[in-house]
Amino acid sequence: MKESVDEYDSFLDGMGNDRYLGHATNWQEDLAWYIHRRIPGLHHLPWKFVPWGYSYSVDVVSHFLSKPREEQFVSWNGWTAKEISKLTGREPNWRNSRLYSLYRNCSSPIIHKTLTLWDVWGPETAYRKMVQVANTMGRSVRYPFLDRDIVNFSQNLPSSYKYKGRVDKIIMRLLQNKFLPEQIVNKKKGGFIFPKEYILGSDNYRFLNVFLSSDCIRKYGWVDDSMVNTYVQRYKNGDKYIEDRIWALVLLHAWAELTKD
């Protein structure tokens, strides 16, 4: 966006099409989802003793089977339950959370994945991030797939027009094949890696020094000060494996500081 800011005044974002037309799953996700459905409680088995590295597909299926069914499409890259218990002095329990209650009775893995990603993650991250970046650049962003008429139309579509098997966005793919050139239709999807390492390390770890200082941690008393200090020092010494843990703590205390009034 920064490179294009002089060329365009408004940006279009495709966010919303996944929510209303389905988010694709792969066969490993489907298999794990249906096994979980037939055999509840699989995640209680001692999965930590199952050897990894036999094959990619076996590893993926084992990964999903070792998680509670409601968490199958959730990426836990930060603090583990045991670490959270030590960090906060209480046992974490998500059984009554919105995430669990909404998706306990999903009828298919593609619906489960779609709702997990776009009813929980999307509104508070993807939409907000894009709007804030655009505003910073002095530009506007539009979401054509959130148009009221399109939303109403898509919600009334038969499921066969949205997804079939593991193929999603059926009606959109038909429209693309009809109106767009082949190089656009078959273009591979590109990823974007959010620069957490750059942000956390900027200005000699300014955000860590402010939001994870002993004064800030003790002010709210949510987490153990000494444990946070240990992790902060590990991160500054080059342990990038704990980056998501540090990121979560920075965001928590930045939110607290910015909304304290």
In this prediction, residue 1 has a pLDDT band, given cuts at 50, 70 and 90, of low
Q: Does residue 131 have a pLDDT over 70?
A: yes
Whether residue 3 lies inside any domain: the answer is: no
Q: Are residues 51 and 90 in the same domain?
A: yes
pTM: 0.73
3-class SS of residue 51: coil
38 near 169, Cβ under 8 Å? no
Question: Last residue of some domain: 145, 162, 185?
Answer: 185
Can you give the pLDDT at residue 31? Answer: 93
Q: Are residues 25 and 62 in the same domain?
A: yes
Q: Are residues 155 and 202 in the same domain?
A: no
Q: 133: which residues sit within 8 A by CB, 6+ positions away?
A: 1
Can you give the pLDDT at residue 135? Answer: 83
Question: Last residue of some domain: 159, 185, 211?
Answer: 185
Q: Are residues 150 and 201 in the same domain?
A: no
Q: How far is CA 77 from the centre of its chain?
A: 10
- Domain residue limits at 211: 196-258
Q: Does residue 169 have a pLDDT over 90?
A: no
3-class SS of residue 222: coil
Whether residue 241 lies inside any domain: the answer is: yes
In this prediction, residue 88 has a pLDDT band, given cuts at 50, 70 and 90, of very high
Q: Are residues 165 and 220 in the same domain?
A: no
Q: Are residues 66 and 120 in the same domain?
A: yes
Q: Does residue 193 have a pLDDT over 80?
A: no
Whether residue 1 lies inside any domain: the answer is: no
State mean pLDDT over 150-158.
89
Q: Are residues 132 and 248 in the same domain?
A: no
Q: Are residues 206 and 168 in the same domain?
A: no
Q: Does residue 89 have a pLDDT over 70?
A: yes
Q: Does residue 66 have a pLDDT over 70?
A: yes
Q: 103: which residues sit within 8 A by CB, 6+ positions away?
A: 70, 112, 115, 116
Whether residue 111 lies inside any domain: the answer is: yes
Lowest mean pLDDT: which of 84-88, 130-134, 181-185? Answer: 130-134
Whether residue 190 lies inside any domain: the answer is: no
Question: Last residue of some domain: 157, 185, 213?
Answer: 185
Whether residue 57 lies inside any domain: the answer is: yes
Can you give the pLDDT at residue 224? Answer: 94
Q: Are residues 229 and 162 in the same domain?
A: no
Tokens of 129: 């991030």
DSSP code, position 156? T
16 near 143, Cβ under 8 Å? yes
Could you give the number of structural domains in the chain? 2
Regarding predicted confidence, which is higher, 11 or 211?
211
Whether residue 224 lies inside any domain: the answer is: yes
Strand intervals (E) in the chain: 10-12, 140-142, 163-164, 167-168
Lowest mean pLDDT: which of 104-108, 225-229, 253-257? Answer: 104-108
Q: Does residue 145 have a pLDDT over 70?
A: yes
Tokens of 61: 């299926």
What integer best gives the mean pLDDT of the chain?
Answer: 87
DSSP code, position 52? -
State mean pLDDT over 130-144.
85
Whether residue 4 lies inside any domain: the answer is: no
Query: What span, in angstroms and rounded, lies between the C-alpha atoms of 29 and 192?
Result: 23
3-class SS of residue 37: helix
Q: Are residues 212 and 128 in the same domain?
A: no
Q: Are residues 91 and 175 in the same domain?
A: yes
